[in-house]
Amino acid sequence: MRAALYHDRKDIRVEEIDEGTVGDGQVRVDVDSCGICGSDLHEYTAGPIFVPVGDPHPLSQETAPIRMGHEFSGTVSEVGDSVTSVSVGDAVAINPILSCGECRQCREGNYHICDSIGFLGLSGGNGGFAESVVVDEVHAVPLGDDVPLEYGALVEPLAVGLHAVRRSGLQAGDSVAVFGSGPIGLSVIQCARAAGAGTIYVSEPRKARRERAADCGADELIDPTTTDAVEYITSAADGGADVTFEVAGVEASLNDAIQSTRPSGTTTVVSIWEEEVSTHPNNLVLGERTVTGTLAYLGGPRSDEEYGMVIEMLANGRLDPDPFITGRIGLEEIVDNGFEQLLNPESDHVKILVKPNE
CA 38 to chain centre: 8
Other CB atoms within 10 A of residue 241 CB: 28
* Complex with Zn ion: residue 99 or 253, whichever CB lies closer: 99
Smallest distance from Zn ion to CB 267, Å: 21
Smallest distance from Zn ion to CB 37, Å: 3
String marking each residue 18-37 x if it binds Zn ion according to CB under 5 A: -------------------x
Residues 267 to 296 in contact with Zn ion, rule: CB under 5 A? none
* Complex with Zn ion: residue 99 or 132, whichever CB lies closer: 99
Nearest Cα neighbor of 339 from 7, 35, 1 is 35
Smallest distance from Zn ion to CB 262, Å: 30
Residues 94 to 133 in contact with Zn ion, rule: CB under 5 A? 99-100, 103, 106, 114
* Complex with Zn ion: residue 157 or 356, whichever CB lies closer: 157
* Complex with Zn ion: residue 29 or 154, whichever CB lies closer: 154
Residue 135: beta bridge partners? 27
List, as one string, the DSSP characters of 236-298. Answer: HTTSSEEEEEE-S-SHHHHHHHHHTEEEEEEEEE-PPPSS-----THHHHTTT-EEEE-----
* Complex with Zn ion: residue 4 or 233, whichever CB lies closer: 4
Contacts of 168 (CB under 8 A, 6+ apart): 243, 245, 266, 268, 292, 294
* Complex with Zn ion: residue 139 or 289, whichever CB lies closer: 139
* Complex with Zn ion: residue 114 or 309, whichever CB lies closer: 114
Smallest distance from Zn ion to CB 125, Å: 15
List, as one string, the DSSP characters of 171-207. Answer: -TT--EEEE--SHHHHHHHHHHHHTT-SSEEEE-S-H
Smallest distance from Zn ion to CB 96, Å: 8
Q: Which stretch binds Zn ion (CB under 5 A): 39-47, 168-176, 249-257, 258-266?
A: 39-47
Residues 307 to 336 in contact with Zn ion, rule: CB under 5 A? none
Smallest distance from Zn ion to CB 59, Å: 9
Using CA atoms, how far apart are residues 315 and 274, in angstroms rounded to an integer? 36
Pairing of strands 176-179, 200-203: parallel
With contacts defined by CB under 5 A, how many residues of the chain interact with Zn ion? 7
List strands edge to edge, sheet with 2-8: 11-16, 2-8, 66-67
Q: What is the dihedral of CA 42, 126, 325, 256, to 10 degrees?
A: -30
Smallest distance from Zn ion to CB 172, Å: 28
41 binds Zn ion (CB under 5 A): no
Name the site residues for Zn ion (rule: CB under 5 A): 37, 39, 99-100, 103, 106, 114
